[in-house]
Structure 1
Amino acid sequence: MAKRVTLYGIFTALAVIFGYIESLFSLSFIAPGIKLGLANAVCLILLLSGDVKGAFFVNTARIFLSALLFSSPFALLFSFTAGTVSLLAAFMISRLKSVTAVGFSIAGAAAHNLTQVFVAVCVLGRGVWYYLPFLLAAAIVCGGTVGALSLIIFKKIKTNLK
């Protein structure tokens, strides 16, 4: 139990740090709000290890800590909703035997972007829908990159996750 708690603490800290680092390097020249999603690699590694509860715990802790440290309650609304839906989508797709980590990472990224646009429409109005094609294209590239990176890291550390 102590090893699990320590692992979750380390993974949460890594996710917060990765999220902060990626906030320093904007991809907004593609479309506003696009991020690589490096913080999600930590949760994907936990999903790959079969630790679904851990992935949800780390994801939730990361979102709340990041909002507390780096953003606002308004941003928390977007992050928590999209983060939860994206991890749920990645988890459900990961159950399919024919889908790789890259595939379920892309599914999670697409679900994240779709959810954020939906929340933005609810808050700001329908004019936000035009971002969706750009965000979904970014989900393929960024989600694929994060999925591949997560798989490489998982293969190197999987024996330490048990």
Structure 2
Amino acid sequence: MSKKRSLILGIAVVLLGGLMFAGFSLWRFFSPVSSALVDEQIETVWLVDRDRIPAENFFADGGAFVTRPSTAVDANENDAVDLDQTLVLPLLERLQKEAGTAWFVLPEKGNPNLAYALVAEQPDGFAKQRQIERIFREADDSFDGRILVLRGDRWLSFELLPAGTRLLSEE
């Protein structure tokens, strides 16, 4: 085999390998694995041995979401409760009214007045799911921190992150 033919064959093999790697990377990025993981986490960990309380009832009875240590919004509990009132409740009301999602609180096992998570079942229909994306995006734009939305095929949840928080995917 000539040097020219070997060089062309080598380049073709490298290009083919690069295309296969790129295709696999794109497949992993767009695959439904991440949504399946969200559903699995909610169904096998979060919902196990926890009541599902309608969010309106939970907050009306004095429950709190933002005071969770993982959100670290502020050391001052009053500021966190204010954030529940000024961001979380209006967001939940808007999601319910405009997209028809019913939100539930999963309380902490040792403290029933503290929310472990907020969850809703994913609505049917692409239009409603797009509406949910838009509502979260608008709320995130008006919040000085970040709203991390967890989307599964069956479940939806979100977490509030303090300003300056960087996700691993952004590094």
Q: Which has the higher helix share?
A: 1
> Larger C-alpha radius of gyration, 1 or 2?
2
Q: Which has the higher strand share?
A: 2
Q: TM-score, normalising length from structure 2?
A: 0.31
Q: TM-score, normalising length from structure 1?
A: 0.32
